[in-house]
Amino acid sequence: MLNTFSILSLIIAIPFLGMLFTLFAKEAGDNGTRNVFSVAVFAVIANIVMILRIFMLMEVYKPGLQLVETYNWMQNPNIDIVFGVDVLSLMLLLAIHIAFIIGFIGVRNNLEHQKSLMVWSLMFLSMITGFFVAADIFSFYIFFEAMLLPLFMLLGMFGDVKRQEYINRFLLYNMLGAVIFFVATVLLFNYQHGMLELQQLNNMKLNSRLEYFIWAAIFISLLSRIPVWPFHYWIASVNSSIRNPMIFLISMILPLTGIYGFVRFLPKTLPSILGNYILILQIIGVVTMLFIALIGLINKDRQYKIFSYITVYYIMYMLGILTRNEVILLNIAFSFFSYLIIVASMEVFSHYIAKEQNQQGVLDDGLLCAYPKLSIIYSFMTLSAVGLPLSSLFLNNFLILSDLLAVNIKMGIIMLLSLVIVSSALLKELFRLRDAEKCALTASGQNDISRGIFSFMLFICFVLLMSFIKPLWFVIGA
């Protein structure tokens, strides 16, 4: 039986060890490239098995962090590194790892700099895993900033962004956010006169001046990673230009760290000083949602339509978290599980569609008619994305929207309108790709997705469907 004392450290270490094996592996010829790819896939699958094992060791409906591990880092000052998980963090980790497997499918035939892509991707996975199991402010901050290194390297090497200034400002925002977060972390440490676990933040009382500065610093640093005004412009400029599905996936996951930060740092009872700022943030959020949704509907670029869908949902989840409703937080965790898998699948197969269009030299109108296997998967993911009862998005988004409508009906209506608009944009794109009248003008369809990938994606569709029936269906006794 596994030693539960070290199991959380192990899921951080496995992708990192996979990165080291990949780094020192020989990449001579096709065999070397396949070996690099196989090591990366094996590391992610091994971590999925470990995460499922952690689910079995937990009491999934028990509040608070479980399987806590504590490591003494320094004696003077006394700093401990603490790891712990709950259902929210584990659901997010499981979804991210499944999304990584789907992302690897999208780059499996990418022979250019395959080793570098796998190395930095696994490093990012290791850092974000540490971020989601971090249970104290220092380890939380360390992983919050550490994941920026592989992201910066991936964007610089594979981002394909036309204007370098977009990358520079995108990275500048994230670096400034990390610096501001560091200042807030130091102030919290000094105020506490020692270590501070994230669970203690929920009941922490600060004096007014210090409280004002700390919460402002935390808000700015977390918002710098979320595509909400004014940060949405540079995030959109970078993400909508990325043509490598794996890099897009990693860039798309980054705002999740800001959303998760709000979960861990916001107290159960918000200080009165934050009331007006929360209202302003809610107004900015719904306006950004509507603005991005309308642009996604008008923009003909399929990549931007997917980005607008991602943006609208991230902001909706952020607004749901700001309600501080424990039931809604659990609904958001279940909804995020499907959301991350769906957007990863849509991006990978959207990239495949664009690649086939370019190779065949045809328009993509009606293209899916020539690719029946691809058509089934892409159609399922699109219909799941728009909220049909094919995944946990359906029920949990309904509950989240119901709560937000009850809190502020005007805000809820704008949010609902934004969701309808981005869903219409995705459906419009699907109907165009499946246009029966233009099937004769499409490619031959000889390069339809392989039977192995089709079978794997059917399994992913089954996982999504089961998440609608019961979110924790894979946990015995849940």
Which domain, by its residues, includes 432?
A: 297-478
Q: Which of 386, 395, 372, 391 is nearest to 462 (CA)?
A: 391
Please indicate, yes or no, if residue 416 is contained in any of the structural domains: yes
For residue 32, the model assigns a pLDDT of 56
More confident residue, 204 or 401: 401
| Number of domains forming the structure of the chain | 1
Say if residue 273's pLDDT is above 70.
no
Q: Which of 364, 239, 370 is nearest to 308 (CA)?
A: 239
Confidence class of residue 39 from pLDDT cuts 50, 70 and 90? confident
**Neighbouring residues of 5: CB distance < 8 A, sequence distance ≥ 6:** 69
Q: Which of 95, 119, 96 is nearest to 36 (CA)?
A: 119
By mean pLDDT, which of 12-21, 169-178, 344-353 is the weakest?
Answer: 169-178
Confidence class of residue 206 from pLDDT cuts 50, 70 and 90? low
Say if residue 11's pLDDT is above 90.
yes
Q: State pLDDT tens for residues 279-329.
A: 788 888 888 889 889 988 888 888 888 888 988 999 888 888 887 777 777
Please indicate, yes or no, if residue 259 is contained in any of the structural domains: no
Please indicate, yes or no, if residue 7 is contained in any of the structural domains: no
Say if residue 187's pLDDT is above 50.
yes
Distance (Å, whole) CA 169 – CA 348: 26
More confident residue, 276 or 23: 23
Confidence class of residue 125 from pLDDT cuts 50, 70 and 90? very high
- Contact between 416 and 401 (Cβ < 8 Å): yes
Distance (Å, whole) CA 441 – CA 436: 10
Please state the rounded mean pLDDT for residues 167-189.
76
For residue 161, the model assigns a pLDDT of 54
Say if residue 446's pLDDT is above 60.
yes
Q: Which of 325, 343, 329, 227 is nearest to 268 (CA)?
A: 325
For residue 282, the model assigns a pLDDT of 82
Please indicate, yes or no, if residue 20 is contained in any of the structural domains: no
Say if residue 461's pLDDT is above 90.
yes
Please indicate, yes or no, if residue 84 is contained in any of the structural domains: no
pTM: 0.91
For residue 455, the model assigns a pLDDT of 93
Q: State pLDDT tens for residues 407-431.
A: 778 888 888 899 999 999 999 988 8
Distance (Å, whole) CA 101 – CA 42: 10
Q: State pLDDT tens for residues 358-376.
A: 877 777 777 888 888 888 9
For residue 3, the model assigns a pLDDT of 43
Please indicate, yes or no, if residue 374 is contained in any of the structural domains: yes
Please indicate, yes or no, if residue 433 is contained in any of the structural domains: yes
Please indicate, yes or no, if residue 94 is contained in any of the structural domains: no
Q: State pLDDT tens for residues 68-86.
A: 888 877 776 667 788 989 8
